[in-house]
Amino acid sequence: HVNEDTSNTFPVEDWHSTIVELKILGFLKAGKICRVAFPPYPGENILYPTTEELQLFLGLIDNGLELGKIENTEVDVKVDASKLLQKHLAILAMSGAGKSYFVSVLLEELLDKSKLGIVLFDVHGEYKHFARPTNEFKDYSNKTRVIDCSKFKIAIDSIGIIARLIPDLSEVQKRALIKIISGLKEEIKDSGLFTVGNIIERVDSEELKLPVNVRDSLISKLRHIDSLDLFGKTSNLDVDMVSANTLTILDLSNVLDMQRKQLIVSYITEFLFNSRLKGTVVPHVIVLEEAHQFIPEKASSGYAIARHIFETIAREGRKFGSALCLVSQRPINLSTTVLSQCNTHVFLRIINPNDLKHISESSEGLDNKSMEFITGLRVGEALMVGSAVEYPVFFKVREKKSQPQEYDFTIEEMAEKFTKKKDKKEKDLDLYLGI
């Protein structure tokens, strides 16, 4: 027989207690955060902070970039744009955790509130929706331009560009190329126009008297870079590609060769940084999607062409108004030099133990408790640490104002959209043919 009234036998409520482990961070005095010298006494009252106190304690500001709300509160996470970006930002998460969504929110805030130029290397064409006019959502098309990088051309005016693509050039080959390029520049100094094909012709000529094995090896390497279809007689690049309060999307989705992608990203980034040194281009932030592809930790220099310029900007960019925002789903493959120079990190969900270990070694603002939270974050939840905030902040990313990305749809919705588009094309063709 079971006694229905068990509360007398088992007075659970009388026994129940909650033990909370707390870490005392500090206290507010005259609007400043002070260090605690003595712990509170047992029995002292516990009070919830006001919104203003919480904002002050965490380093949030009323007119900052609004990225979301602190979990389980109505406190807006509004951060100072300079603190977030000037010493570089890294956005790290596993695939499907909401990186692209968060980047879209950040872009919206910058376009709404900042005078910075924004340059985005869009590897998969995920952000081109910013350039599409819309009535249903907030329209950013008048502040966005898209450049198709598959049509981008680079002029060869020095051996440096060739050396990036062919890092294993011998000294004999380097001397030969320097002589050839100098000769071509002198011969056509009025126009300064020559191609990789012109260089190959000179290497193949008898003038240099190169050993056959050296000549054939060099020609083979030059033909490889000529096959990238990237080099022209002139470069279609100028400082007007970046403007204040404008998003410039460099669309790499149609560029398939990885070396070609690397060189485009490297060349444009170096051009922008040098232009900042000269003061000829607006202060800007460079957003690099799939950063681990372009700034790998261990790849050879021939397949990490962009690594050097990004490491340079990571060290020196803040002094010249050139900021980085790196986005990656594989932090372990990302250059430690660059990642450690990013003073603010935003984490969405990460569960790979190797990535977590790499992050813990590169992010000074993370403690063990915060590391545990990263693995349990749900889609759309984030943790921010570093110079943008005084203490780690867990928050729910706000909803986007811009129209959905192509990748915001489920695979079934994509299939339905594709079928409707195909059916419409067939009907239009039938009407045209009079069928």
* Secondary structure, 3-state, 348-416: CCCCCHHHHHHHHHHCCCCCHHHHHHHHHCCCCEEEEEECCCCCCEEEEECCCCCCCCHHHCCHHHHHH
Mean pLDDT of 199-210: 78
State the pLDDT at residue 73.
Answer: 87
pTM for this entry = 0.84
CA proximity to 296, closest of 257, 333, 327, 340: 333
Give the model's pLDDT for residue 398.
96
> What letter does residue 141 receive in the DSSP assignment?
G
The C-alpha atoms of residue 307 and residue 301 are separated, in whole angstroms, by: 8
**pLDDT-wise least confident of 96-110, 140-154, 155-169, 391-405:** 155-169
Domains of the chain: 65-151+236-412 (3.40.50.300), 154-232 (no CATH)
Distance CA 384, CA 390 (A): 10
Q: In the predicted model, is pLDDT for residue 136 greater than 60?
A: yes
Beta pairing partners, 27: 34
Give the residue carrying structure tokens 């450690």: 340
In the predicted structure, residue 192 carries a pLDDT above the cut 60? no
Q: Which of 29-38, 210-219, 265-274, 408-417 has the largest mean confidence?
A: 265-274
Tokens representing 391 are: 């203490």
140 within 8 A of 247, measured Cβ to Cβ: yes
| Whole-number pLDDT of residue 435 | 66
Name the phi and psi angles at 327, rounded to 5.
-120, 125
CA torsion through residues 311, 317, 322, 328, sign: positive
Burial class of residue 141, CB neighbours in 10 A (0-12, 13-18, 19+)? middle
Q: Give the three-class secondary structure for 344.
A: strand
Q: What are the pLDDT digits (tens) for 230-268?
A: 887 677 777 788 999 999 999 999 998 888 899 899 999
Packed helices 196-204 and 171-187: angle between N→C axes, nearest 10 degrees: 120
Rg from Cα positions in the chain: 28
13 versus 289: which is more confidently predicted? 289
Q: Name the residue among 396, 388, 395, 390 with its Cα closest to residue 64.
A: 388
d(CA 15, CA 136): 56
pLDDT, position 12 = 64
pLDDT for the residue 163: 77
Report pLDDT for 206: 63
